[in-house]
Each structure stands twice: as structure tokens, then as C-alpha cells.
Amino acid sequence: MALRNIIGKRIGNGIGLVGRRSLSTSTSDVENRNAKSMNLYSAINQALHLALETDPRAFVFGEDVSFGGVFRCTTGLADRFGKARVFNTPLCEQGIVGFGIGLAAMGNRAIAEIQFADYIYPAFDQIVNEAAKFRYRSGNQFNCGGLTIRAPYGAVGHGGHYHSQSPEAFFCHVPGIKVVIPRSPRQAKGLLLSCIRDPNPVVFFEPKWLYRLAVEEVPEHDYMLPLSKAEVIRQGSDITLVGWGAQLSIMEQACIEAEKDGISCELIDLKTLIPWDKETVEASVRKTGRVLISHEAPVTGGFGAEISASIVERCFLRLEAPVARVCGLDTPFPLVFEPFYMPSKNKVLDAIKATVNY
């Protein structure tokens, strides 16, 4: 059923209900045994507990993770696994990631937390010049594949410039790392476990808006969801919509309304942004002939541009309309103007109609 049913009321947007419906397609990914209703931060917390439980060489570290973290994602870990494995670090992102690279280079699973994606930039050198190239430059003598960097990203209703950013595009331009973004609690648990266990350094962006407001049935067992595999979460025939993270719930609402006007929308969750699943998106576009991409990050140079260019290269003759992008504006993320900045349901809906009627 609808993504919107799992999302609670968003501050300032007044959308949706707190509900407990699980996503229709996710049941095909994972067995639903012993599922418990929980929110995003609890699901992430479960994943971290499992990661540390199943691998004695897994570590969780970052600013304030010891007491549970500013978003409670690391609750209970220090008590259960001890201060040597779950610990606070000094306030220094380049140190957190550099330290994590070192830990990972010794075969450990280093799960580093950056408190907000907005603060990841001091670590950009370590991520791009070191982590991403660690295996390649050494001729595979060394690698830091055990490194996973987690960071809350995206709009939260009142975050302004420095608590709302979606910096995924910067990282999608770096060969050697993976970028993964979950859309819901159940997805987050499975994807995070895959990221932690993937033998490549991964940046995992968690939609902070969904931490408390998204509630879903999440299986209690240890399960993993595949990386670099996009998921069609709503079948349709007139237009393909591509998105990730929190934006998918907005897009889904637009799809439901578009349906009332007789437009059948196919909605795809990309999940992994690099390396991304071109095949699934291409197959969908071949079916529908139209594509719309939506993300919170500013439109210029956003990851939607890469998807658009690739689809045009591969599906040019099939396309019935230009590729549409409904994204954040090219401004720093504003505070009082957030509702204007954001790619809202109606902006998406307008673009669906314009594309279909092209």
C-alpha cells in the first residue's frame, strides 16, 4: 500500500497519517516473519545491533554516538557492546572518516556516523582521495571496504541551510564508493546491513525527516537488501518516476492523484545511486516512454541530471516527451521559504501532467 501511510504528519506540510501499512513490493524482498512496527531510527538501531552482534570486529563511532546519538540511532549499543567498540570521537569529521579508513584497512567493519550530512565536507578529501581510491591505487593490496559512513540528510521542516542538505550528488561523482539512500524503516535496515557488509566503502544517507515519522512493519531477523538494484514500488504504464529517500512518499502522493486523472504512473526507488541500476529504469522507460526524476537537492548538477542524460542516451527514440526534473531550487536551503523551495506533491503532479500532455 501507499508509502504515505507509513509517513507521519510532516511539520508544516500537513500530509498523511501515522499508519502501519507496509510497502506492497517490499514483502517480495523479505520474509515478513516476526515483523514489528517501528520507525526509521529504530530500524537503523536494529541493523546496527545486528551488525555488531554478528561481527566482533565491527565498530560504531562518531560524535555523540555513545549515549545513543542525537537521533537515537545508536541507542543501547555502547551498553551492550562496550566502550571499546562503540565510542564518541572528537568533533572532527576528517578525523572520523580518516580513523574509519584506518580501522577498515585492517579488516574491521568501521561504521562511522557524521552527525548531519551538512557537515560531511571536511571529510570529503578522506572520502574522495583516500577511501574511494584505497583499493585501486594499491593494486588491491589494501582496501577499506569495511567502511560505512552514515549521515542524516534532507529536509526536516525547520533545518535551514545546515540541517537540511542533500549532498548525494557530490559523492555520486566519485568512482570507488557507493551511495545508498533508503526510503523507509524496513528498507533502511536491510540496506544498511548490506552496506556494512559490502566490501566497498559506502556512504549511507538517512532521511532524517523519516526518523520518527515513518513507521512500518520491520522483520526482526537479520536480512539484507541488494545494492545497485532499483525497485519498482508502483506499477504503471504512462510515465516512469524515479526518486530516492524521503522524496518517494511525495512522489507517491502525486502518483495517486494523477491516477484520478487517468494517468498511470510507475514509481521507481533507485536505492543505490552509484553504481545505479540503469537496466531497471531503462526497462520501465521503454514501457512508458516518459520519465520524471525528483529530488530535494538543487536541480543544477543534481543526480537527476545523470539519470536524465543516461536515459536520453539509451531511450531517445522511445521518449514521447523531454525528461522532467522536479527538484530543489538553486539556492541554499532556506528556512521560512522551505515550502517554496521543496519539490512538493503539486509540483510533481503538474510535471506529470505536462509530460503526459506534451
Binding positions for other proteins, rule: CB under 8 A: 57, 84, 87, 89-90, 92, 94-95, 97-108, 110, 122, 125-126, 129-130, 133-143, 145, 175-176, 178, 199-200, 228, 275, 278-279
Smallest CA-to-CA distance from 88 within 80, 98, 77 is with: 77
> Quick check: is 63 catalytic?
no
Tell me the β-bridge partners of 149: 112, 203
Exactly one of 49, 63, 163, 168 is catalytic; name it.
Answer: 163
∠ CA(230), CA(234), CA(240), 5° rounding? 70
Cα(39)–Cα(43) distance, integer angstroms: 6
Cell numbers for 36: 514489528
Nearest-approach distance from CB 118 to other proteins, in angstroms? 18
- Under a CB-based contact definition with an 8 Å cutoff, are residues 95 and 134 in contact? no
Nearest-approach distance from CB 36 to other proteins, in angstroms? 33
Looking at residue 235, its amino acid is Q
What's the chain's Rg over C-alpha atoms? 19
Cα(304)–Cα(3) distance, integer angstroms: 21
Nearest-approach distance from CB 266 to other proteins, in angstroms? 21
Q: Which is nearer to other proteins, 74 or 228 (CB)?
A: 228
Nearest-approach distance from CB 353 to other proteins, in angstroms? 33
Cell numbers for 310: 543516461
Q: How many residues does the chain have?
A: 358
Cα(251)–Cα(269) distance, integer angstroms: 10
Exactly one of 93, 206, 266, 296 is catalytic; name it.
Answer: 93
Burial 321-356 (b: 16+ CB within 10 A, else e): eebbbbbbeeeebbeeebeebbbbbeebbebbbebb
Q: Which is nearer to other proteins, 109 or 183 (CB)?
A: 109
> Quick check: is 93 catalytic?
yes
Q: Which is nearer to other proteins, 43 or 230 (CB)?
A: 230
Q: Which is nearer to other proteins, 199 or 339 (CB)?
A: 199
Distances from the Cα of 108 to the Cα of 8, 102, 145, 264, angstroms: 37, 9, 9, 47
Query: What's the distance, CA 225 to chain centroid?
Result: 13
Nearest-approach distance from CB 151 to other proteins, in angstroms? 18
Nearest-approach distance from CB 24 to other proteins, in angstroms? 27
Q: Which is nearer to other proteins, 103 or 327 (CB)?
A: 103
Q: Which is nearer to other proteins, 103 or 233 (CB)?
A: 103
- Under a CB-based contact definition with an 8 Å cutoff, are residues 212 and 41 in contact? yes
Cell numbers for 196: 556494512
- Under a CB-based contact definition with an 8 Å cutoff, are residues 151 and 120 in contact? yes
Nearest-approach distance from CB 294 to other proteins, in angstroms? 22
Q: Which is nearer to other proteins, 52 or 258 (CB)?
A: 52
Which residue in the block uniquely carries the three cell numbers 536541480? Answer: 299
Residues annotated catalytic, as ranges: 93, 163
